[in-house]
């Protein structure tokens, strides 16, 4: 089903507004800013992927070039950090081109821009952010069988004010619009309004813990017809989510800190399929640095949307992992990572009978990387990634390996 004209115009207007805002701010900064700094980097990378489509081995062998692909990425990144009076401003932008050697129809230009501002007084603080992202959705989310682009606009504000001693009143509000330009997936596009409020403890050393009531409401951007027990019915990805949640940024010791959020969520599926859920919601990391240049980070995530947010209704996701990074001689970086995640789909809008589905997936990922910074601000990087998925649906298990080599040149002040 094609995207409604209003949806296309809204997406384009959002992109133009975000680019205009960032562009005007960028031009205006030098005249009004203090202590301005900037960074700029250009990179080129080549990636070999032995299973681009993320399909089972038997199916991969029947594809042209056995499903293999060589992708070239050309990317430019830049940023400006400055102050305008008492407001700290941070602008960032990225633009890149993907070039596929065997499947040029998947070539894509993607870009992202963000702006952040922080205002502090003796009694409180306000942080505002705005971002826009347009990028290809990876084949890793099943049912993505061709080039699919996603556009995401996000605006958020976090404010806090002193209440008593180190305790503060905290409030958050935000808006997100995420659209997918795919006939199969367009019904998963959403417009989300979120807000929360509560109390927090903010220590003079920078530690903080809050306890808040949070709510978000989503309206689907498009409607698709699905088969139910009583015949065809319109489906739209509407939901309401309520949570009691704690945001944590706390240094437990001099070498250990805990960051992220943890709480309990009630997910009210307001689509025609009406599959509610509830349970622990978490997105948390323990950062441990036993040696000056060694960082080990265990992570845990649980929620009711997939990592890419392509699916945000009728799914429960749990993942955990651990990563480690080490810097030697100030120039050589090593990193290792292992993660395992499960996704339980309670229905699938793309299936002929969405509710007649038993689809559970477990994905394991292993990654390793090495980078070297030369004296002339060049960085040479080599990375390896392995992913494998077990699934109760025959078409979705896969094993994939990829190797990426990249060269980056940094500029800045």
CA 70 to chain centre: 24
5 vs 205, higher pLDDT: 205
What pLDDT shows up at residue 24? 42
Distance CA 79, CA 135 (A): 19
- Full-model pTM: 0.83
Tell me what the mean pLDDT of segment 195-223 comes to.
94
CA 287 to chain centre: 20
pLDDT at 31 over 70: no
CA 162 to chain centre: 32
Tell me the pLDDT of the chain averaged across its residues. Answer: 87
Query: Residue 12: phi, psi to the nearest 5?
Result: -65, -40
What pLDDT shows up at residue 32? 53
pLDDT digits (tens, 9 = 90+) for 139-152: 777 667 677 888 99
pLDDT at 5 over 70: no
pLDDT at 162 over 60: yes
pLDDT digits (tens, 9 = 90+) for 57-96: 888 889 889 999 999 999 999 999 999 989 999 999 999 9
Asked whether the beta carbons of 260 and 285 are under 8 A apart, the reply is: yes
Structure tokens at 345: 């789909």
Q: How far apart are the first and last CA of the chain?
A: 49
What pLDDT shows up at residue 136? 86
Q: Which domains does the chain have, with CATH numbers?
A: 5-412 (2.40.160)
């Amino acid at each position: 089903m094609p995207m409604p004209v209003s949806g296309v115009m809204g997406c384009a207007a959002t992109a133009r507004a975000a680019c205009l805002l960032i562009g005007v701010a960028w031009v205006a900064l030098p005249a009004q800013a203090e202590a301005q700094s900037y960074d700029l980097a250009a990179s080129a990378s080549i990636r070999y992927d032995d299973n681009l489509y993320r399909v089972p081995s038997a199916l991969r062998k029947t594809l042209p070039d056995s499903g293999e692909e060589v992708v070239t990425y050309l990317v430019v990144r830049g940023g400006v950090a400055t102050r305008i009076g008492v407001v700290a401003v941070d602008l960032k932008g990225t633009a890149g081109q993907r070039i596929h050697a065997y499947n040029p129809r998947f070539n894509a230009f993607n870009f992202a821009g963000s702006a952040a501002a922080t205002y502090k007084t003796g009694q409180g603080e306000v942080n505002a952010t705005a971002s826009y992202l347009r990028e290809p959705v990876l084949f890793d989310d099943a049912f993505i069988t061709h080039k699919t682009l996603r556009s995401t606009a996000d605006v958020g504000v976090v404010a806090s004010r002193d209440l008593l001693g180190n305790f503060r009143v905290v409030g958050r509000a935000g808006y997100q619009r995420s659209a997918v330009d795919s006939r199969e997936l367009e019904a998963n596009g959403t417009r989300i309004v979120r807000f929360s409020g509560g109390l927090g403890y903010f220590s003079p050393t920078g530690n903080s813990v809050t306890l808040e009531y949070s709510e978000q409401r989503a309206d689907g951007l498009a409607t698709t017809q699905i088969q139910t027990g009583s015949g065809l019915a319109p489906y739209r990805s509407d939901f309401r989510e309520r949570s009691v949640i704690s945001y944590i940024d706390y240094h437990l010791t001099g070498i250990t800190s805990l960051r992220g959020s943890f709480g309990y969520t009630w997910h009210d599926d307001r689509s025609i399929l009406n599959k509610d859920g509830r349970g622990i919601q978490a997105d948390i990391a323990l950062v441990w640095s036993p040696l000056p240049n060694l960082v080990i980070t265990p992570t845990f995530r649980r929620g009711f949307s997939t990592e890419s947010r392509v699916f945000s209704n009728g799914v429960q996701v749990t993942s955990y992992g651990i990563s480690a990074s080490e810097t030697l001689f100030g120039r050589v970086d090593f990193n290792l990572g292992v993660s395992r995640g499960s996704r339980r789909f309670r229905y699938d809008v793309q299936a002929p009978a969405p509710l007649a589905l038993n689809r559970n997936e477990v994905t394991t990922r292993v990654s390793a990387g090495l980078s070297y910074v030369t004296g002339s601000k060049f960085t040479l990087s080599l990375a390896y990634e392995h992913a494998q998925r077990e699934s109760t649906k025959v078409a979705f298990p896969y094993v994939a390996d990829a190797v990426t080599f990249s060269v980056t040149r940094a500029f800045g002040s």
